[in-house]
Structure 1
Amino acid sequence: MTYQLIQLSIQATDNISCPHCQQNIIDWAEEQYVQPCEHTLFIAMDVGFEYMTDEFEQTMPRSVDDLHAHDDQVNMFSEITQSTYPDYLIVKSDLGIEGYFRYVGFTA
């Protein structure tokens, strides 16, 4: 396993900040609430991706376009954890819909 998983006990409407630089990556005060910093590798939900670096996508078995084309058949957590990216952190939080989550990946 090359990733570490941290489960956040926050509400779906709470901001999520980078563990390295403390920038709000999910910032509900901003019109564009997705605000990746230089440490952000991806921002995903069980229903699709909101952001992903090319560098991280190249380490995944399937492309983002392929995943989105089959999003009704994809387990997003399983897909992002199959990445061969060396040492990354996944922050998991509630998406506000029963059984759905948001995953934010950061460099380790």
Structure 2
Amino acid sequence: MTNLEGNIVDVPNPSGRGPGYRYFKAAKKLPRVKKLFEKQPELRKRRTTNDIYKIIDASYYGYRDEVLAIVKGPTEVNMRTEAEKEWRRVEEIRREARRRAN
């Protein structure tokens, strides 16, 4: 650590803790630092029941399932056939293992 003239000064505890600790909360009184420690109040407006119901639309109640069926239909069929193929393959392996065990 150096002083204002640039000379090296021996500090007994450079970490800032312990017997050489010289902080007396004076820095908290500085204007810019004071702003950092002040907590800003949250300005969140509470939602009313009416506000919540404004957000809810027909899709929330499931009235647009036909749109989802158009989009998801082919994908679900493909996924189902792939899962079925995998299941049949695993079953065949199990049958082979049982035959060999007997």
Between structures 1 and 2, the one with greater strand share: 1
TM surpasses 0.5? no
For the superposition of Structure 1 and Structure 2, which TM-score range results when normalised by the shorter chain? under 0.3
TM value normalised by structure 2: 0.15
Between structures 1 and 2, the one with greater helix share: 2
TM value normalised by structure 1: 0.14
**Higher RCO (CA 8 Å, separation ≥ 6 residues):** 1
